[in-house]
Amino acid sequence: MAFKHICLLTLAACLPGLASTPKSAASSIPSWFEQLPGGAFAARGTEGHLLVTGTKARLAFQTGNAESPFARLEWTLLGASRSAAAQGTSRRASRTDYFVGSSSKDWRQNSAHYGEVRVPGAYPGIDVVWYASGRLLEYDFVVAPGADPKDIRFQLQGSSPRLTPEGDLVYGLGQVQVRQGRPVAYQMVAGARRTVEAGYTVMNDGSVKIKVGRYDKSETLVIDPVLSYSGYLGGAGIDIASGIALDSEGAVWIAGTSTSDVDSAWVVEPFKTFRSGSKDAFLARMVPDAQSSWKLDYWAYIGGGADDECVGLAMAPGNIMYLAGRTYSSDFPLAGLSHQTENKGEGDVFLLRYNPIWEGPATLEYSSYLGTTAAEVPLAVAANANGWATVAGYTLGGELPAGAMGSALQPSNRGGADGFVYTFNTLGAQDETLPMATFFGGNGTDLINGVAMDEIGNVYITGVTMSWDLPLEGATYQADYHDNGDAFLAILDSRQSGFDILKYGTFLGGFGLDVALGVHRTADGIVWLTGYTTSDDMPVTPGAHQLSRMGFVDAWVAALDPSKAGVEFVKYLSYVGGEGTDIAYSVSVDGEGNPTLVGYTNSPDYPVKNPPVAQSESARSFNAFITSLTPSESGLGALRYSALFGGRGADTAIAVYSSAEGATAVAGYSTSPDLTVSGGPGKQNSAGLRTSFFIKLNPDPKP
């Protein structure tokens, strides 16, 4: 059986990825089966839900109807052996961990992935084999020599079939139409495939038998019914990547948020799911594979019974990873000396430290809530090599979480939405786990969109402010607020207390709206920012790639040196874009000082040069972009490479990571069903749902 695929997660289930060779793009991730408590097998990474239990299988498809979200079918082999049981075969090297719920007793580790599920002896001499083929699922009847295929009879409960003139079976399920194509039967004789005539017979009770023509009864016969469907379908889940990193082995780690791909009406997982359709954080690892370009090596869900959203991933030396986000769960999994052990408000911040060198519960070395009775909105996470990590964002709340080691730079909210900065010491003693917690803002709206850290505990924050009285310090480059919203850069010393925390602060912008969304600090102390602007008077440096704004909204990228004053503070600043709207979300810098920024554009003239990835021929105007610059060059010569990536839907690149050697990884999400992929097909039916993608580029991806 094969049915058309919609990305579930994508990252665990179906994460299109990009090969590292020129002109190649997203690589498909195969589906797999996992065995559940009780012996049933659930399909992961497939459209809809599939549960195999011996001689029965249950399928559910999302209909897009809020009142009746699922259309269900139950496939049953009639007259089959009652003792026939499903067995996982073709075990894969990958696995899934479920860190869900506050008690480690409820966690499930090392859930094996299987490429096939076999039901031997369903009928005498006849096996049923469900298997994952790329990103599709199929089933075969394998008839041993001497067995009789006339024994095969099945029924799909929930709908009555009709036989089309082409020999297909069609089942109507409201808005969903399930089509089971005419069976394909064959034998392998002396290494050659020999086709055998086959078809369906619909019985009076609605069951279906398979009739076959003449064949060699001394050889094995394979009967392959093909199942597909058409109609409006939502996906089985929505999956959004929010962070990416490369480990020391060249593997790609992706973090984000995923909805469950198991219909809990049928399957009770060994963890609690209090809310239907709740979201979990996920962490996935992709590794190169000679046969399929990329393969999924690891997948973990992290969350509690309510919604849990991951906003970012920070990797520290030793492949230590820090995930941050927002949780509404009262039972979020906690580990280590958690600073706060309960959810106190309308969605608290979470931070966790993950160490892949261990297995099972030990991989989660630290995890904690942090928040108040108000709602916090985390937007970014950063970490250093000493076990310190910072989560930043904004809040409308008026109080800080309790227990910070020192007094805050800003103990109260000064107006509207203020930024917040929470710095954790994940290796500290019980009373040393929160070195710093502070608001940051003025009398207007202040959002912290990006954060970075250095090894001695300095925290670099950036975002957008509408406050004329934002705290400033040091040899401020721009002391005056320019109206309409300015970007800013501030440096906080998390080892200090009170006013001593603020080491540097400046506005940065023109007289339009200037927003910083991403920040990257290099080892030599240079701070790179990126975002978008409507200003014509950004402080562009001579010889920059683009000296003036091209469209209504352009991306921008800047290199800043906080140790310098005046014009020396801005080492490099350039617009990037075309005549439409261009938004840059993230920037990363390689060991040679070359910045790469990613985001989205609808500019028809967005600059493209030496594209290392290809976009679909049917791509529309809303595409992801990846642009890498050489700051020492000017004009078009500054473009190392620049590419658009997308299809006929909406495509956004949200995170980028560059290694010291120059390899680059990009993560994002897409509603396009036709991303240009390598190693397999892309998403076949988007129905407007977002699914994750990733790209990995070689150190020198230029063709």
Task: Dump strand ranges (E) for 124-197.
Answer: 126-133, 136-143, 153-157, 162-163, 169-173, 176-189, 192-196
pLDDT at residue 428 greater than cutoff 80: yes
pLDDT at residue 26 greater than cutoff 70: no
Which of the pair, 625 or 675, is modelled with greater confidence? 625
Q: Note the pLDDT tens digit of each residue in 228-272.
A: 432 222 234 457 889 999 998 888 899 998 874 433 333 333 222
pLDDT at residue 55 greater than cutoff 70: yes
Which of the pair, 47 or 352, is modelled with greater confidence? 352
- Res 679: pLDDT: 39
Residue at token pair 């970490």: 383
Give the sign of the dihedral formed by CA 509, CA 513, CA 514, CA 516.
positive
pLDDT at residue 703 greater than cutoff 50: no
Smallest CA-to-CA distance from 630 within 596, 607, 601 is with: 596
- Res 13: pLDDT: 21
Q: Note the pLDDT tens digit of each residue in 101-159.
A: 777 877 777 888 888 899 999 999 999 988 765 444 578 889 999 999 999 998 887 67
435 Ramachandran zone, left/alpha/beta (phi>0; psi -120 to 50): alpha
Smallest CA-to-CA distance from 581 within 549, 609, 559 is with: 549
In the sheet that holds 376-383, the strands lie side by side as 376-383, 388-395, 418-425, 436-440
Per-residue pLDDT band for 32 (boundaries 50, 70, 90) equals: confident
> Which of 521-530, 539-548, 608-617, 645-654 has the lowest average pLDDT?
608-617
Per-residue pLDDT band for 19 (boundaries 50, 70, 90) equals: very low
The most confident of 126-135, 290-299, 359-368, by mean pLDDT: 359-368
Q: Note the pLDDT tens digit of each residue in 544-553.
A: 999 999 999 9
Q: Note the pLDDT tens digit of each residue in 655-684.
A: 999 988 888 989 988 887 777 655 333 443
What percentage of the chain exceeds 90 in pLDDT?
Answer: 48
- Res 334: pLDDT: 94
Per-residue pLDDT band for 700 (boundaries 50, 70, 90) equals: low
The most confident of 179-193, 259-273, 437-451, by mean pLDDT: 437-451
- Res 266: pLDDT: 32
- Map out the domains of the chain as residue ranges: 47-92+116-230, 306-449+461-481+488-508
Contacts of 567 (CB under 8 A, 6+ apart): none
Question: How far, in Å, CA of 341 to CA of 351, rounded?
Answer: 12
> Which of 191-205, 387-401, 459-473, 625-639 has the lowest average pLDDT?
191-205
Token representation of residue 678? 């390598």
Question: How far, in Å, CA of 587 to CA of 678, rounded?
Answer: 25
pTM exceeding 0.85: no
Mean pLDDT rounded to a whole number for the chain = 82
Q: Are 678 and 663 in contact (CB under 8 A)?
A: no
> Which of 205-209, 425-429, 477-481, 527-531 has the lowest average pLDDT?
205-209
Q: Are 383 and 424 in contact (CB under 8 A)?
A: no
